[in-house]
Structure 1
Amino acid sequence: MSAVPAPDNSPDAGATWHYGDPFGEQRAAEHDAVVVDRSNRAVITLTGADRRSWLHSISSQHVSDQPDGTSTENLSLDGQGRVEDHWVQTELGGVTYLDTEGWRGEPLLAYLRKMVFWADVAPEAADLAVLSLLGPRLADPAVLAALGVPELPAESTALPIGTGFVRRIPTEPGRIELDLVVRRADVTDWLARLEAAGVRRAGVWAYEANRVAAQRPRLGVDTDERTIPHEAGWIGGPGQGAVHLDKGCYRGQETVARVHNLGKPPRMLVLVHLDGSGERPATGDPLLAGGRVVGRLGTVVDHVDLGPIALALVKRGIPADTALTTGGEHPGPAGIDPESLPPTDAVGAGRLAVERLRRGAV
């Protein structure tokens, strides 16, 4: 089993891309069980009595009373409501754990420390690694025994295991996805223990193919400097999204409320099918319709069943049957998966109120 490193220009540079059989690893993630070493992610811990109420005041999710043993997504926005940071947040044993993209670990930690002021909270970098497990066989007794848990946790919940924890990620019905967050010094032992229980090692290619097919965006790859949460599908309370719509003021909240109540986001996240006959386009390449730029490619990956696919931010309202081409060094045809289009936007509460007033004035 030979480990092939991720490309140098990949956001996962330094991680294992695959172990010689990338499509076999993807198939195992769908029908068996695999473990993916994602220790290139950064983990931050928050301790102190004020950690939840303090984080609640500076982030988009409702976490002031996050129950012990639960996980959710969360964001930090800039003053215009654009996404700066995204993390998965777990509350367990008097500690709040945040894990994010490796390249955002230091900037996020610096921002959190800057915002402490007089609060009883201590943000620290943690020497912890994330291992992700995919596949239906994760429910097998041998795997549960290797994890040291009597049963799988419910979605968006976490269980302690030794010096770390295991949490279950919300995903499509019938699928199982877990994260192990453990000491970096213990990663090799955990991989060996899981392999002995029949869990196959897989590279991040398998994880990324699964993520893209599930239409889950990745910070800095599927988002850009203009992205607002509505465009990426991050609206929702704990366990459902990263932005709670019924909470107090936080940086960027005005934009979130305005778009929700009065307008529509300018772009939408969709799944795009690409031409597989030539070189693949790259993240950041434009999507064009009739020679006009209508979107931006995010993650590009070859999927065992779907072929070459990508996530893309495209102009809202563009029909699914629009003939698209990719720009950049390797242009080619592309098409929007119609099932990936977000639901038709309901009229916001604020817009409805304005329309009622106008009708009443006539």
Structure 2
Amino acid sequence: MDPFSALPGAVLDTASEGSVVAHFGDPIREQRALERGAALAPLGDRTVIELAGAERLTWLDSITSQSVAHLGAGQSTELLVLDPQGRVEHVAAVFDDGASTWLLADAADAAPLATWLQRMVFRADVTVRVRVELIVIGFFAGGDAEQRAERAALAPHGTAVIWTDPWPSIQPGGHQYHLGEHPGAGYHWRTAVVDAATATALAAETDAVWAGALAAEALRVAAWRPRWATEVDDRSLPHETDWIRSAVHLNKGCYRGQETVAKVHNLGHPPRRIAALHLDGSDDLLPAPGAPVLAGAEDSDEVGRITSVARHHELGPIALAILSRRAPIGDLVVRTPDGDVAAAQEIIVPADAGATADVPRLTRLSRRPSAPDPRRPSTPDAL
């Protein structure tokens, strides 16, 4: 167990892998402190993978969705590993310190991701190492928490390993399907990698403020930020969650799954779409992830599933859901064992997302004008 699990008031999330602290006594207060940059959040459900070797960046560029070949020391990005059909298999935050590339992955995905990467090395000058002894801590930029994290972060090659989430803006080569103002613009989330000794010293700082996973997840859901552990299943395309804005470079060249990414983006539409739901909190029913989403109270037609749910300190009960493209754009209903919960839908990815290429439509053969009849006059002068 990491040292944060033994802090006063720490309540562990028994449903999660690893030492995940759900909260430290007051999730709502912790949200506010985290959001203003005053609190640190130990992320026991994240695992670190270190890539070393002179060819690590060009090799990683060739097999993943993101352009990382020229990633500079101290720079951050995000990548996806897709299967040949363009479905999301793995997700990783990426940080390079000039000598190593650090991947931060959800704990359940880290070992499969590392195994796949190792299989892809072949003769490249790359080594893959899972650093299970390292600990990940999250925080928001601009406050006391950032200063503490910068002092504590691992820096084996002189550059502190602190990943900056690219979600606040559309990344080079990316594209946003959401139309209008995006709540992710204010999501200035960062994560620091620390060793066990430093984590123990940090936990001993009596004036440090701590926040649990419930607080971090609520702010993530409010920013419409997808995660591998929650929004990804065996059918997920990056278009469905607007992940192209941060993790896909549309112009970088070939990689596994690139053909599907290009086809859906340029010519087609993703079969599903992510939506934000504002849940009715009058009955204090909070749906669990996986709860079915219906088109209406009297309609048994299931149009999607809840993927993430949280209680936000301002927005109240909120959720992310993956819906069928055919799902109505109005209010929906979430079914729970204790009753239905009304849900006001906010469109993230519209049903007509994709088809961005301006490809002229061919005139049907039956509608083509017939050839002129040489026996009939074609101009007034011929009359």
Q: How far apart are the structure 2 equivalents of 1:146 and 1:112? A: 29
- 1:274–1:308 Cα contact (<8 Å) kept: yes
* Letter aligned with residue 179 of structure 1: T
Please report the TM-score for the alignment, with normalisation by the length of structure 2: 0.80
**Corresponding residue for 1:168?**
164
Matched, 1:30 2:39: no
* Letter aligned with residue 49 of structure 1: A
- 2:269–2:354 Cα contact (<8 Å) kept: no
**Corresponding residue for 1:229?**
238
TM-aligned CA distance change 1:213 to 1:118, over 3 Å: same
Matched, 1:187 2:204: no
- 2:187–2:223 Cα contact (<8 Å) kept: no
What is the Cα deviation at residue 137 of structure 1? 2.5
What is the Cα deviation at residue 345 of structure 1? 3.4
- 1:148–1:161 Cα contact (<8 Å) kept: no
What is the Cα deviation at residue 281 of structure 1? 1.7
SS at match of 1:39: coil
**Corresponding residue for 1:338?**
346
Indicate the RMSD between aligned Cα atoms, in angstroms. Answer: 2.7
- 2:280–2:341 Cα contact (<8 Å) kept: yes
TM-aligned CA distance change 1:83 to 1:15, over 3 Å: same
Matches within 5 A, 1:86-165: 86-126=91-131, 127-134=133-140, 136-138=142-144, 144=147, 147-148=150-151, 164-165=160-161
Please report the TM-score for the alignment, with normalisation by the length of structure 1: 0.84
The superposition leaves residues 78-133 of structure 1 with CA deviations (integer Å, 9 ceiling, x where unpaired) of 11111110010111131010010101111111111111111111011123211001
- 2:240–2:349 Cα contact (<8 Å) kept: no
SS at match of 1:147: helix
* Letter aligned with residue 144 of structure 1: Q
SS at match of 1:291: strand
What is the Cα deviation at residue 329 of structure 1? 2.5
- 2:52–2:128 Cα contact (<8 Å) kept: yes
Unaligned runs of at least 5 residues, structure 2: 1-7, 169-183, 369-383
- 1:270–1:336 Cα contact (<8 Å) kept: no
Q: How many residues align?
A: 338
Q: How far apart are the structure 1 equivalents of 2:237 and 2:68? A: 20
- 1:3–1:18 Cα contact (<8 Å) kept: yes
What is the Cα deviation at residue 145 of structure 1? 6.9
- 1:281–1:331 Cα contact (<8 Å) kept: no
TM-aligned CA distance change 1:61 to 1:174, over 3 Å: closer
TM-aligned CA distance change 1:271 to 1:13, over 3 Å: farther
Unaligned runs of at least 5 residues, structure 1: 150-157
Percent of matched pairs sharing the same residue: 40
TM-aligned CA distance change 1:343 to 1:133, over 3 Å: farther
Matched, 1:284 2:287: no
TM-aligned CA distance change 1:4 to 1:148, over 3 Å: closer
**Corresponding residue for 1:253?**
258
The superposition leaves residues 131-162 of structure 1 with CA deviations (integer Å, 9 ceiling, x where unpaired) of 001364248xxx6377349xxxxxxxx98897
What is the Cα deviation at residue 348 of structure 1? 2.2
**Corresponding residue for 1:212?**
221
* Letter aligned with residue 308 of structure 2: T
* Letter aligned with residue 184 of structure 1: A
| Worse-superposed segment, 107-116 or 217-226 | 217-226
Q: How far apart are the structure 1 equivalents of 2:221 and 2:186? A: 17
Matched, 1:266 2:271: yes
What is the Cα deviation at residue 192 of structure 1? 3.8
TM-aligned CA distance change 1:53 to 1:331, over 3 Å: farther
TM-aligned CA distance change 1:225 to 1:164, over 3 Å: same
TM-aligned CA distance change 1:81 to 1:145, over 3 Å: closer
TM-aligned CA distance change 1:92 to 1:282, over 3 Å: same
What is the Cα deviation at residue 309 of structure 1? 1.1
- 1:281–1:328 Cα contact (<8 Å) kept: yes
What is the Cα deviation at residue 68 of structure 1? 1.7
Q: How far apart are the structure 2 equivalents of 1:178 and 1:47? A: 22
